[in-house]
Amino acid sequence: MAGGWSKDGAIQDQIDASINDAVKRARNQLPTGDSLTHCEACDAEIPPARREAIAGVRLCVKCQEAQDESAAAEIYNRRGSKDSQLR
């Protein structure tokens, strides 16, 4: 069902495009290449199992967790409700 000037399925197309953009952004942030043997942030040794499991790993688990937590705080709210915008 179209609303106004939009074509049928336009809302779903917009949702799909947003999801595809997020997936592309996440894939671009994945490490590539050879893994480091020592963390580039704290110089701690990166375990061989982690280096083999994740191609191009550059941080130890502790530093990666810290980086992930700080990145999670940067996520913006995409909900359209007025209540979420007032927070």
**Residue pLDDT tens, the chain, 87 long:** 445 666 777 888 999 999 999 999 988 888 888 999 999 999 999 999 999 998 899 999 999 999 988 877 666 655 555 555 555
Distance CA 17, CA 35 (A): 32
pLDDT at position 42, please? 95
pTM, entire model: 0.55
Give 38's strand partners. Answer: 45
- CA torsion sign for 80, 65, 31, 50 is negative
Let me know: does 39 contact 63? Beta carbons within 8 Å.
Answer: yes
